[in-house]
Chain A
Amino acid sequence: MNVLGPVDDIPLGEGRSYTVDGEMIAVFRLRDGSLRAVSAVCPHLGGPLADGQIDNRVVVCPLHLNAWDLTTGCSKSGQPPISVYPVREDHGRILLGE
């Protein structure tokens, strides 16, 4: 279990990336207030997913606009899947891991 920092560090509807155990993880704060964490590197050509746009279901990579489901990690456009990690908010902090 890792504490990544205050939840307010991530504006509503945006994402920020964090380094956890040498791995880059993009954490998104959905407009419904919940959090999602996925691998930060786009499997297509390495785009920074934390810079992508999201809604309450998917993230769209900023480079070539492929999309992935934030909950399952499955691609909506025929790309390989991304990893998803358990993440939640606890007293205003972002907790990553089970």
Chain B
Amino acid sequence: MTQKLVVIGNGMAGARTVEEILARNGDYAVTMFGDEPYGNYNRIMLSNLLAGVETEDGIFLNDLAWYRENGITLNTGTRIERIDASARTVYDAEGNGTRYDKLIIATGSHAWVPPIKGIHRPGRGYHQGVFAFRTLDDTRGMIRYARDHERAVVIGGGLLGLEAARGLQSHVSHVTLLHAMGHLMNTQLDERAGEMLKGSVENKLGIDVIVNAMTSEILGKDRVTGVKLGDGTVIECDVVVVAAGIRPNTAMAADSGLSVERGIVVDDQMRVAGHEDVYAVGECAQHRGDLYGLVAPLWDQAKVLADHITGTTGVAYEGSRVSTKLKVAGIDVASMGLREPETDEDEVIVYNEPRKGIYKQLIIRDNVLVGATLVGDNRKAAALIQAFDRGLPLPDERAELIFDIGGAVEESPADMPDDVQVCNCNGVSKGAICGVVTGGCKTVSGVMDATRAGKGCGTCKPLVQRIVEWANGGEAEEDPAASWYVPGVPMPKPELMIAIRKYRLTSVSSVFEKLVPGGTHDAKSKMGLASLLKMMWADEYVDERDARFINDRVHANIQRDGTFSVVPQMKGGVTTPGQLRKIAEVAEKYDVPMVKLTGGQRIDLLGVPKEKLPAMWADLDMPSGYAYAKSFRTVKTCVGSDFCRFGVGDSTALGIALEERYQGLEGPGKMKLAVSGCPRNCAESYVKDVGVVAIDGGKWEIYVGGAAGAHIRKGDLLTTVSSADEVITLTGRFLQYYRENANWLERTYSFVPRIGVDRIREIVVDDADGIALALDAAVQQAVQAYRDPWKERSDPATPGQFRTSLPLTVLPQVPVRG
């Protein structure tokens, strides 16, 4: 008869154990309880989520559909309060009982918060601005709050604290890391390695680190305003993240009379001492005196428990060898096993290069690796972790272990057994990787997506690559789209541009026919190619209208109901009564459902049917504001020196001049500019693709690569110049450099950091490459090719250009606002 299996805790260990049981066709009706309101997500990826390099969608391991498909009853947001082992029943907070035949406890840990004065508000949880770092909700809350604040303090200089500090840098401008011990990551690193790490964190990341820092008080009445240290130092901040350690969630088990010491005590079958049918796995379990705070051991535990519970006899968990890696880009730290030698016989190999922040230490006993620390260079981490994990015999030439000097210790995938775990973060075996490759997925990135191998700390990526290559008979297939400019033409942008020039391809269809094997056209590549060709050929470009996205065919932005929006140009956000009157009349005449001031300082007429566009443009008789294309959009300005009592530069005039010159300029992404009359920066110049700020003395600062949309980034100061003319020239030169070199849809906020502002300055300002004149000439040519697209009203470019495509069927209706 099917037995009832109840699992308390729907985290990484609980869900993984159930997966393992399903994989063994275990005959159980499974019920899971989790007090978080979600399916199962990859907790270790919260660091990447905080840093903005992973999305929420990307971290879910089992979504709700997975539970449904596997017949698992999942109770989310439900906390189990008590186990009655004699009645084989668990009770939730409401007192509802659920019976079990077998019970698995996988309650994990919670963040440990040291008793610091002011950290809690009586009856209200943490003080406003204080966060722990354990759950998705913690992370969401932290991101939401940090976004609107400036200075963060992280308490705790271990793995979690370092990852929190790095992640917070994506949201606030200044981060201080406080660590109570004498050196960072003291559990994993010795003092010298910890010192080395501190130097890198301070110098490379720009995070302030204070060691031996005892936090004594959280300051601030309504919300956090600072922290106070034991020695009286006060650090001002508005966000505090506590990453001081974890404690296993054992209270519920202890209250229910189970055997609990530091964790819930289990035997080699993960059975809770004295209870035949109750098991514990994951961080809450204490096995042979050890507790683990990492995922690799719980993959091992889950396998043993699944084997045992589905009837395989003689299986035993014998403990795990753990290794860790810091998931902070640019700061390499990996450690495994012993931190320091234990006996005089232990062989210690050390390499230290302080200038580069590199420190490597190996501890070897009986020719087996028992400990290793790598700081500043992780290239050997994957090989060392394997040698450590599996107790492999080591090469006589010890240097081969720390350096790549030819003699590879790397085992060939052919010799690895199928069940060897390759990715320790996500518990993926060599067999699983090969299975996906055999199933037809032959690219490294495809396999990584399918199995999640390599998507945790990333150490195993080279090994995953080698296995994919091996399983595919020697070579992995290149991931097609990754480096291509558009998905349908197999070339990165520079190569593509060379080929386009070489064959003089001036139309989108000619590119497909000449450069794609088989001449296959690709709908999703057309828009990007059209933009590139227009930039490259200016008036020689053969404009095939079908290559354009609908917005660019009808010079308006399509709305959710299939109507369009009309945004007339309003240079620099300056208008006149006459212009306003005209807009008002047109809006009335055409029954425009909504008239709205945009975030770009102009007026949007929304909900216009396609067939009415030409007549409206004629009545308006104003140029297009280009609110639709991947193009130069707006120049926001402030009132500047003409009226503002603080203005030190005529920002309005400069903004208008910029817009007049570069209007309609198309590119790989939108280009939004602003000019402010003084550093109070009312036009938000710091967060624009190009932002200009007047400073005292008749000078202008030019910032590039700023953003305040889906991404927030303060622009980098490109240079400071002394005349408006120079601003206009350098803006054009920068935009042209961006147009020629950015990837399709890559906004300047990605482009500028990718190239580096120093390099851009060399090219654009100092003309180190000698291309400044060519850039100026190219942008001048584009400026001359500009023609107001709304002039097409009297001379449609194609038959039926403005014919409705609106179905008779009622579309989602957009409300009319009076």
Contact = CB atoms under 8 A, between A and B. Distances in A.
A62 B558 contact: yes
Nearest to B563: A48
Given A14-B545, A40-B807, A52-B550, 9 more contacts: A11-B546, A11-B799, A13-B509, A24-B808, A31-B546, A46-B809, A48-B562, A52-B523, A53-B550
Given A9-B799, A10-B800, A51 B805 contact: yes
Interface in A30-73: 31, 40-41, 45-56, 58-60, 62-63, 65, 67
Given A53-B527, A55-B522, A56-B520, A24 B799 contact: no
B545 A11 contact: yes
Nearest to B545: A11
Contacts of A16: 800, 803, 805
Given A12-B546, A46-B809, A48-B807, A55 B521 contact: yes
A54 B805 contact: no
Contact of B811 (A26, A31, A46): A46
B544 interface: yes
A9 B798 CA distance: 9
Main DSSP-derived SS at the B contact region = loop
A22 B545 CA distance: 29
A62 B549 contact: yes
A31 B545 CA distance: 12
Given A14-B546, A45-B812, A26 B523 contact: no
A85 to B, nearest CB: 15
Contact of B805 (A9, A26, A55, A60): A26
A24 B806 CA distance: 9
Interface in B609-655: none
B526 interface: yes
Interface residues of A toward B: which range?
35 or more
Residue in B521, B526, B803, B812 whose Cβ sees the most chain A Cβ within 10 Å:
B521
Contacts of B799: 8-11
A67 to B, nearest CB: 7
Contacts of B520: 55-56
B523 A24 contact: no
B787 interface: no
23 contacts: A8-B799, A9-B799, A9-B800, A10-B799, A12-B544, A14-B545, A17-B803, A17-B805, A17-B806, A17-B807, A31-B509, A31-B546, A40-B805, A46-B807, A48-B805, A48-B806, A48-B807, A50-B805, A53-B546, A55-B523, A59-B523, A67-B523, A67-B524
Given A31-B509, A48-B562, A55-B522, A22 B800 contact: no
Interface string B576-609: 0000000000000000000000000000000000
B543 to A, nearest CB: 12
B809 A24 contact: yes
Nearest to A39: B807
Given A12-B546, A16-B805, A53 B800 contact: no
Nearest to B554: A51
Contacts of A47: 562
B136 interface: no
Interface residues of B, number: 33
A56 to B, nearest CB: 5
A46 B812 contact: yes
Interface in B540-572: 544-547, 549-551, 553, 558, 560-562
A12 B523 CA distance: 13
B549 A53 contact: yes
Nearest to B807: A24
B562 A51 contact: yes
B804 interface: yes
A72 B551 CA distance: 27
Contacts of B526: 53, 55
Interface of A: 8-17, 19, 22, 24, 26, 31, 40-41, 45-56, 58-60, 62-63, 65, 67
A53 B803 contact: no
B531 to A, nearest CB: 14
Nearest to B521: A55
Contacts of A10: 799-800
Contacts of A65: 524
B807 A41 contact: yes
Nearest to A62: B550
A2 B608 CA distance: 31
Contacts of B549: 53, 62
B800 to A, nearest CB: 5
Interface in B782-818: 798-800, 803-809, 811-812
A63 B808 CA distance: 18
Nearest to A58: B523
Nearest to B549: A53
A14 B526 CA distance: 12
Given A11-B799, A16-B805, A48-B807, A54 B523 contact: yes
Residue in A12, A13, A31, A65 whose Cβ sees the most chain B Cβ within 10 Å:
A13
Contacts of B545: 11, 13-14
A90 to B, nearest CB: 19
A52 B800 CA distance: 15
Contacts of B524: 53, 60, 65, 67
A50 B807 CA distance: 10
Interface in B495-543: 509, 520-524, 526-527
A73 to B, nearest CB: 16
B47 to A, nearest CB: 31
B423 to A, nearest CB: 28
Contacts of B521: 31, 55-56
Nearest to A65: B524
Interface string B196-221: 00000000000000000000000000
B558 A54 contact: no
A45 B560 contact: yes
A70 to B, nearest CB: 10
B17 to A, nearest CB: 31
A54 B546 contact: yes
B565 to A, nearest CB: 14
B358 to A, nearest CB: 46
Contacts of A45: 560, 812
A60 B562 contact: no
Interface in B707-763: none
A13 B803 contact: no
A13 B808 contact: no
A11 B522 contact: no
Contacts of B560: 45, 63
Given A14-B546, A14-B798, A41 B809 contact: yes
Contact of B523 (A17, A19, A60): A60
Contacts of A40: 805, 807
A13 B807 contact: no
A13 B544 contact: yes
A51 B803 CA distance: 10
Contacts of A26: 805
A64 to B, nearest CB: 9
Nearest to A30: B521
A51 B808 contact: no
